[in-house]
Chains A and B, each alone.
Chain A
Amino acid sequence: MDEKVPRSKIIETEIPMGTVHPAALEPYRVRLFVEDEIVQEAEITIGVNHRGIERIMEGLPVEKANSLTEKICGICSNAHIWNSCRTAEMGLGIEIPERALYIRIIMGELERLHSHFLYLAHGCEVLAHETFSMRVFYLREIVMELLAMIGGNRVQYGCSVLGGVRPRCDLDESKLLRLKEDMDKVEEGLTDFANRFTSDSIVMSRISGIGVLPQKQALKLAVTGPTLRATGVARDLRTTMFEYDNFDFNVVTQPDGDVKSNLLIRALESFESIKIIRQAIVNIPEGKVVNRDWEMFDTGINESYIEVPRGTLYHSYALESGRVRHSIIRTPSMSNIGAMQYACIGDQITDAQLSIVQCDPCFTCSDRTIEIIRR
């Protein structure tokens, strides 16, 4: 695979795509440098979506800033508010009730399910296989309704608050029962989809060996999340998080790093998420869901890393009389951009969009800070 290393000669034919392009949901710009329809070099430019969340967060009370981080991303919104609350909780030493941790994990895993289903649906759509796409969208609707049931909104649920979860998100018996029943439905639907998908020889031959990202290159580019695990590296931050101590799950890997591995790993991880949710439903402890008994004091820079559907998410900020200072947010797609560029190389132009989509891009998250250089 080392012959995929870009050559140093000048390539004259350039195909620009974007910033608004049919195959991409989000605005970003891709420049493909091609020779005989084979992509020799790719360049992804983001920055169109920059809204300056960190600037808006600066100086806000920490509770407000937490709910603002939710607006970074509409796909993994819960992950952002969870990690932002976790940052302050670790800095202030707030003890979180056990029940709240379980509810956070249920929300986090439900979100992973809906994010992975969206990925599968979008991937099938880019493959131009609308039937599969529709099937996954239908499955995803079950998860979305569960999220709406727990959080009250289909997208930004605002589940975590400092010291636990919102009392609105507490799970009573009937909600747990519905969660349990719907997990069975999702598992049944997903098994059916996975069987149909893997036994469809046309689709499988279309996606095998496309957009290959070798393991060595993935480690070199600091790729995170399922995209890294699809190259055979069993690295998952959930194994190190104390929230997941009581849960039994496997870190799924796939060997090849191509589109097939990436699609399959999302499907297999969804099964692991269902397993985690089931364990949480059975073992959820009784008690209160939020600990209001804490004091605010000034802290230095607090940091927190968690595993979100796309990889590792990093939040850090300092607290100064209850207000947020020097906020830094690093989202997983930021480090996966290198993988997207590399995966395009060596394939046809037709496969370029597929190679980008296989890394699960979320450029809305990634448009973080613009450094202004004054000359």
Chain B
Amino acid sequence: MGIKSFSRARAIHVMLVYTGGCNGCDIEIVNSILSPRFDAEQYNVFLTWNPREADVLVVTGPVTYHNRKPLEAIYDAIPNPKLVVAAGSCALMGGVYKNCFADIPSEEIEGPVENIIPVDAKVPGCAVRPQDVLAGVVSLLPTLLDAD
């Protein structure tokens, strides 16, 4: 284990990006990491808002038209190795917003997240449960720790 992965194992930073969902998933994710009930900090997982510091990017929401470029910029700003978790039905398949009236795709929605950046783990649910988010992030940890 190199010194980089040794230090990374003690502080995994998760960045949450919100791309136009309904707020439900975001609060549950903030809840799962910050709140004392679920407490992701026991797995050395911390919440950050700085892409330069982040290791895991958690994306929620069906990337709206105006959010596509910020999302790409944030993804590019994260140093390697980086992993992406798509959380919530919207991030996985566009949710209820993807199609307006049957199969006509909505012009506002660019998502799902897979169309824009590569996704490593998917957490389903509308809204996601904090337990599932924790499971999703923790399942990525081995990949991150074996990176270099």
- List chain A positions with a Cβ less than 8 A from chain B: 19-23, 25-27, 47-53, 55-56, 58-60, 68, 71-75, 77, 118, 125, 133-134, 137-138, 140-141, 153-156, 362, 364, 367
Contact = CB atoms under 8 A, between A and B. Distances in A.
Given A19-B70, A56-B96, A364-B22, A137 B108 contact: no
Interface of B: 17-28, 30-31, 34-37, 49-50, 62, 64-67, 70, 74, 95-97, 100-101, 106, 108-109, 126-127, 129
28 contacts: A20-B18, A20-B74, A21-B49, A25-B18, A27-B18, A48-B20, A50-B66, A50-B108, A51-B109, A56-B100, A56-B101, A58-B101, A68-B96, A71-B22, A73-B24, A74-B27, A75-B24, A77-B22, A125-B34, A134-B35, A134-B36, A138-B36, A155-B127, A156-B127, A362-B23, A364-B21, A364-B23, A367-B20
A25 B30 contact: yes
Contacts of A77: 22, 24
B36 A137 contact: yes
Given A20-B74, A27-B67, A51-B62, A141 B100 contact: no
A55 B49 CA distance: 33
Contacts of B24: 73-75, 77, 155-156
A364 B20 CA distance: 7
Contacts of B96: 56, 68, 71
A364 B24 CA distance: 10
A140 B41 CA distance: 19
A53 to B, nearest CB: 8
B52 to A, nearest CB: 12
Nearest to B129: A154
Of listed A73, A74, A118, residue having the most chain B CB within 10 A: A74
A117 B74 CA distance: 30
B66 A73 contact: no
A49 B112 CA distance: 15
Given A25-B27, A125-B34, A137-B35, 12 more contacts: A22-B50, A25-B26, A25-B30, A47-B66, A48-B64, A50-B66, A51-B20, A60-B101, A73-B22, A74-B24, A141-B35, A364-B23
B28 A155 contact: yes
A55 B106 contact: yes
B35 A74 contact: no
Contact of A71 (B17, B26, B74, B95): B95
A364 to B, nearest CB: 4
B18 A26 contact: yes
A111 to B, nearest CB: 12
Of listed B23, B70, B101, residue having the most chain A CB within 10 A: B23
Contacts of A154: 28, 127, 129
A74 B22 contact: yes
Of listed A56, A134, A367, residue having the most chain B CB within 10 A: A56
Nearest to A138: B36
Contacts of A48: 20, 64, 66-67
Contact of A52 (B27, B35, B100): B100
B34 A133 contact: yes
A274 B126 CA distance: 28
A215 B35 CA distance: 35
B74 A51 contact: no
Contacts of B20: 27, 48-51, 364, 367
A305 B109 CA distance: 29
A74 B25 contact: yes
